[in-house]
Structure 1
Amino acid sequence: MTTETDVLVLGGAGVDTIVHVPELPLPYADSYMIQPGIVTRAGQSGDFVALGVSALGLRTHHIDVLGADPEGDLVRALYRDRGIPFTEVHSAAGTKRAVNLVGPDGRRLSLYDDTRSQETDRLPEDTVRALAAASRHAHVVITHPCAHALPLLRESGVTVSTDLHDWDGANPYHEPFALAADLVFLSTTALADPEHTMRDIAARGRARIVVGTAGAEGAYLLVEGHLSHVPTVTPPAPVVDSNGAGDAFAAGFLFGWLGGADPLRCARYGAIAGAHACTVPSTRADAVRRDELLARAAEPDVAGPAATEPVAPEPDVAEQGAVVRG
């Protein structure tokens, strides 16, 4: 069957307001004078994945709920300007939005507006089925209403990936995503025993590959019961912001995976993309391009050993460096 799309992204479209702060955590004060100012731009987890795989040359389509509001206009403009097809489903609650406090070292604290969703929100079943039938792969963001689309994707036969972000390994909200995906990404930040959680996902769900990103410690790759450590890649420029690095890692990994590369090579692509994302100011939504990623992958210090022998992962508390959450 001929497909029109390489990666169908479901969910995670929204707008962030970026506020640079002198330090995190931010001490209480009546007021702060901040530089370089406050900027609102389109770009949340699904947007970063869509932009990332598109920049790597993969045919991309995104579907999500948007509101008839200024935030929705920013998202629509982003996809129009980048030439990425976007299927919009109306949300009466409005477009998802968040405020990101960004510290001088690039770490961030995100405040999500939880009023921008409704329990009744759904992606139309016929639309999801049609898009899935025309796609090679679906990446599902853990935002409502994407959980309801998971059975439809399974019926279509398309492979599925998801990112659990900073799951604690216990919150039941994440489980449908963790157990329905063939490829699972998650941050080790909130996990007491990352290896146990990764192995549990693989044992109870469909995942053939589980990737745990661990900030400055690199990433951990579980494939067929074998756990490997994938080191970080030195960013090509100073680290200015960690926002979207986990999504960039996922995009780089998917680029390799859909191209038939072995999982270790895919993880190195992810590390390169994640490192690049850390050099992009939080006020922009840009991704590494295919030629740049492949050039970096060919450099001797990057193209060397793809991974070390298994090492027990430890929770990352700083959550900064080349590979962090999205």
Structure 2
Amino acid sequence: MENGSDIVIFGAAILDIPAGPVDITLLRAGSVPADRITMNTGGDALNEATVLAKLGKPVRLVSKVGDDMAGRVILDHCRQYGIDTEHILVEPGLDTGVNVVLVHPDGERSFLTNRNGALRRIYREDLRGEVLKGARIFCFASIFVFPWIGKKELASIFKDAKAGGLILCADMTKCKNRETVQDLREALLYLDYLFPNLEEAQMVTGKTDPDEAADAFLECGVKTVVIKLGQKGCLIKSKDIRALVPAYSDAVCVDTTGAGDAFAAGFLYGLSEGMPPVECARFGNAAASAAIEEFGAVVGVRDLAQVYERYEKLVR
């Protein structure tokens, strides 16, 4: 690519308003106090791009925002971290996606989302062919987020990316309409790496056991499946590999928002550095452990030195 970016991320770029700790059972009419209420950028793709930029990787983000204050905050954030914004579409009259994140006392969270925001107005046509020119790695973050990108559109996007010789990765969120792996087979067969968490994998495969869920994805053509297991780390599985990769055990959980995105970004970093898949998974775990230690999505990830130190502890 002209700016040296060899990683392209396609997906959501939004503004998060995290508040916490909040006991959601107490939410009634009236006010509920929280220790912290802040504002920072979020969205799966922007989180991944931000972590990659903090790790020193040039990255191109493909997304959509409105011509409003939230959109300008996102664009300013990208420029601050050196994220390529050429293909972030700015659409007048459209509200930039905003999430209110209610952080529970244990660090888990609930979301209030804007169903009419830019996040719900991203289309297949927003990913134009020239976006991928010169890239080595393409990550679609995330399957099931965009109502106008269904299985046929996914297959079209993935087919074009593979035709360009790219390493193709995807994350996912919870399925919305009881979709199954069989429904997605036409798209999944192009994927080199898939990063679902355990609950997401269980929902689309119908399998409760992580190994069996991974096998269901492999049977649909995914080359390597990486199932995120939270505190237990992750399971990575392909026809040649089966490994449980432990999490970084010294992390202090404050907020899990963006942890999965940080993992994906760490994995992508490893791929771009030529690491073997299991080492990519370790690096992903290291990045995720940093993300959960601060309030707000991926705020806790500071730089390459921080994540690499954690990665080295996992290798020992």
Give TM class, smaller chain: 0.7 to 0.9
| Structure 1 Cα separation of the partners of residues 247 and 177 of structure 2 | 24
| Structure 1 Cα separation of the partners of residues 192 and 90 of structure 2 | 29
| Structure 2 Cα separation of the partners of residues 170 and 195 of structure 1 | 21
| Structure 2 Cα separation of the partners of residues 113 and 20 of structure 1 | 20
| Structure 1 Cα separation of the partners of residues 267 and 60 of structure 2 | 18
Q: Which of these residues, 139, 164, 168, is aligned with residue 156 of structure 1?
A: 164
2:205 corresponds to: none
| Structure 2 Cα separation of the partners of residues 246 and 94 of structure 1 | 26
User: How many residues matched?
Assistant: 298
Structural RMSD (CA): 2.8
Query: Is the Cα–Cα contact under 8 Å of residues 15 and 43 in structure 2 kept in the other structure?
Result: yes
Deviations 1:112-161 (A, max 9, x none): 22222588743646x63212112111111123366363333233221211
TM-aligned CA distance change 1:212 to 1:52, over 3 Å: same
TM-aligned CA distance change 1:29 to 1:68, over 3 Å: same
Does structure 1 residue 189 correspond to structure 2 residue 199? yes
| Structure 1 Cα separation of the partners of residues 3 and 245 of structure 2 | 32
Q: When you count helix as a share of all residues, which structure comes out higher?
A: 2
1:35 corresponds to: 34
| Structure 2 Cα separation of the partners of residues 102 and 119 of structure 1 | 23
Query: Is the Cα–Cα contact under 8 Å of residues 17 and 41 in structure 1 kept in the other structure?
Result: yes
2:215 corresponds to: 199
* CA deviation after TM superposition for structure 1 residue 278, in Å: 0.6
TM-aligned CA distance change 1:254 to 1:121, over 3 Å: closer
1:213 corresponds to: 228
* CA deviation after TM superposition for structure 1 residue 286, in Å: 4.8
| Structure 2 Cα separation of the partners of residues 22 and 131 of structure 1 | 41
| Structure 2 Cα separation of the partners of residues 168 and 211 of structure 1 | 21
| Residue pairs, 1:209-288, within 5 angstroms | 209-224=224-239, 226-236=241-251, 238-282=252-296, 285-288=299-302
Query: Is the Cα–Cα contact under 8 Å of residues 166 and 187 in structure 1 kept in the other structure?
Result: no
| Structure 1 Cα separation of the partners of residues 61 and 193 of structure 2 | 19
Partner of 1:135, secondary structure, is coil
Per mean C-alpha deviation after superposition, the further-off stretch among 110-119 and 252-261 is 110-119
| Structure 1 Cα separation of the partners of residues 261 and 298 of structure 2 | 14
Letter in 2 for 1:188: L
2:62 corresponds to: 63
Q: Which has the higher contact order (CA 8 A, sep 6+)?
A: 1
* CA deviation after TM superposition for structure 1 residue 3, in Å: 8.3
2:308 corresponds to: 294
Deviations 1:55-114 (A, max 9, x none): 222211101111112221111111122121112223454222211110122111122222
| Structure 2 Cα separation of the partners of residues 289 and 239 of structure 1 | 19
Query: Is the Cα–Cα contact under 8 Å of residues 138 and 169 in structure 2 kept in the other structure?
Result: yes
| Structure 2 Cα separation of the partners of residues 258 and 221 of structure 1 | 18
* CA deviation after TM superposition for structure 1 residue 38, in Å: 2.8
Partner of 1:58, secondary structure, is coil
TM-score by length of 1: 0.81
| Structure 1 Cα separation of the partners of residues 77 and 121 of structure 2 | 27
Per mean C-alpha deviation after superposition, the further-off stretch among 110-119 and 150-159 is 110-119
* CA deviation after TM superposition for structure 1 residue 170, in Å: 4.8
TM-aligned CA distance change 1:97 to 1:262, over 3 Å: same
| Structure 1 Cα separation of the partners of residues 47 and 120 of structure 2 | 25
Query: Is the Cα–Cα contact under 8 Å of residues 52 and 248 in structure 1 kept in the other structure?
Result: yes
| Structure 1 Cα separation of the partners of residues 3 and 168 of structure 2 | 16
| Structure 2 Cα separation of the partners of residues 166 and 119 of structure 1 | 15
TM-score by length of 2: 0.83
Partner of 1:151, secondary structure, is helix
